[in-house]
Amino acid sequence: MTSNYIFDKNYGNQLITENELELNEFENCTFTLCNFTKTSFKGTVFIDCTFTNCNFKEAKINHVSLRNVQFTDCNFTSVNFAMTDQVLFEYHFTNCKLDYAQFYALKLKNINFINCSMVSVDFMKTDLTEAVFDNCNLHLANFTEGNISKADLYSSYYFSIDPEKTKIKRAIFSQKGIKGLLSKYDIIIK
């Protein structure tokens, strides 16, 4: 398979085949209403790209570079981000479905999750220092052995974080969210 460099191209309403994008580099590209279900992105690089209303359900994103990438209204159900390239990366999510996604042991400092559904997301051993979780459903999300220091969870809900197993120094929570830090104690808060 040959590697291609694609610059400033718009992709709209396309079904991408299983390995069509592997080993390519995309810069300043826009993807709208694209279906990447079960697509392999092995070795693909995205620089200054935006994805809107795209379906990544069960996509394989091993060894993908995401540099200044914005995802809006996308579905990432059951996608494993744990093997994404951690050199010069930056990506953010707005109005995305990330249920059952895996971010195991990644360094995601300053990442933004805005209005996202994140049911049963795996953040075990993940560094989320100064991350923003704005109005996110974090039901059954796992932060064990992770770091959410200085993270903003003020408007997020349904989370349960064990402060004895997760670094939370200077993280921001609402008064209503405090029960998510105390749930393991099975106490009643009025």
Instruction: Supply the pLDDT for residue 71.
Output: 98
Residue 183 has pLDDT above 90, yes or no: no
Q: Residue 130 corresponds to which tokens in the numbers above?
A: 């100064």
Gap between the Cα atoms of 173 and 156, Å rounded: 8
pLDDT for residue 2: 55
65: left (phi over 0), alpha (psi -120 to 50) or beta: beta
pLDDT at 75 over 90: yes
Considering only CA atoms, give the Rg of the chain: 17
Which of the residue ranges 19-23, 83-87, 89-93, 184-188 has the most confident prediction, judged by mean pLDDT?
89-93
Tell me the per-residue pLDDT of 84-117, one tens digit each, with 9 for 90 and over: 888 778 899 999 999 999 999 999 999 999 999 9
**Sign of the four-CA dihedral 53, 58, 60, 61:** positive
In the chain, alpha helices (H): 179-182
Q: Are 50 and 73 in contact (CB under 8 A)?
A: no
For residue 76, what are the CA distances in angstroms to 38, 68, 159, 184?
A: 11, 18, 19, 29
Query: With a threshold of 0.85, does the pTM exceed it?
Result: yes
Q: How many CB atoms lie within 10 A of CB 34?
A: 21
Residues 16/39, Cβ–Cβ less than 8 Å: yes
Average of per-residue pLDDT values in the chain: 92
Whose CA is closest to 51, among 83, 28, 20? Answer: 28
pLDDT at 72: 98
